[in-house]
Amino acid sequence: MSYFIDSRQDHPDRVVLRESPASRRVIAWLLIPLGLAGCGVGALGLAAQGAGLLVGAGLAFLCAGILVLTQFRNPPTLTFDNRAGALLVAAEAAGTGSASAKLPYGEIAGFDVHRRIVATAGRSRSAQYTCSMVRKDGARWALMTTHNRADAEALRAQLQARVKLGDAKPAEVSAAEPPSFVEVLQTSEATILRWKKRVSIAGSLLVIGVIGGFGVIGWGLGPFAGAFVSWLIVAVVGLVELLVILATIGGLRTYQRVELGGGMLRYREEGSLLPWGAFEKPLGEIATALFQFSPDEKAPMLLIIDRAQQEQLRALGTESEPDPMRMASLLFSLRRIGLGEMGLDDLLRLERFLEAEIDKRR
Give residue-wise pLDDT tens across range 2-17: 888 888 887 888 999 9
Give the angle subtended at the CA of 249 by the CAs of 254 and 72, to the nearest 5°. Answer: 90
Better-predicted residue by pLDDT, 305 or 322: 305
Q: Is 132 helix (H, G, I), strand (E, B) or coil?
A: strand
Cβ(346)–Cβ(96) below 8 Å: yes
Q: Is the pLDDT of residue 287 over 50?
A: yes
Query: What pLDDT, on the 0 to 100 scale, is given for residue 191?
Result: 94
Q: Above 80 in pLDDT, residue 40?
A: yes
Distance CA 300, CA 62 (A): 25
Question: Going by DSSP bridges, is the β-strand pair 101-104/86-89 parallel, antiparallel, or unpaired?
Answer: antiparallel
Task: Determine the average pLDDT of the residues in 299-304.
Answer: 83
More confident residue, 158 or 50: 158
**pLDDT range class, residue 96, cuts 50, 70, 90:** very low
Number of residues that make up the chain: 362
**pTM of structure:** 0.78
User: How far is residue 200 from each of residues 6, 67, 183, 243, 286, measured CA to CA in Å?
Assistant: 31, 11, 21, 16, 32
Q: 142 vs 319, which has greater pLDDT?
A: 142
Q: Report which residue type is found at 229.
A: V
Alpha carbons within 13 A on the beta-carbon side of 245:
10
Q: Express each pLDDT in 69-82 by its tens digit.
A: 776 667 888 999 99
pLDDT at 169: 67
Count of beta carbons in the 10 Å neighbourhood of residue 320:
10
Between 89 and 121, where is the model more confident? 89
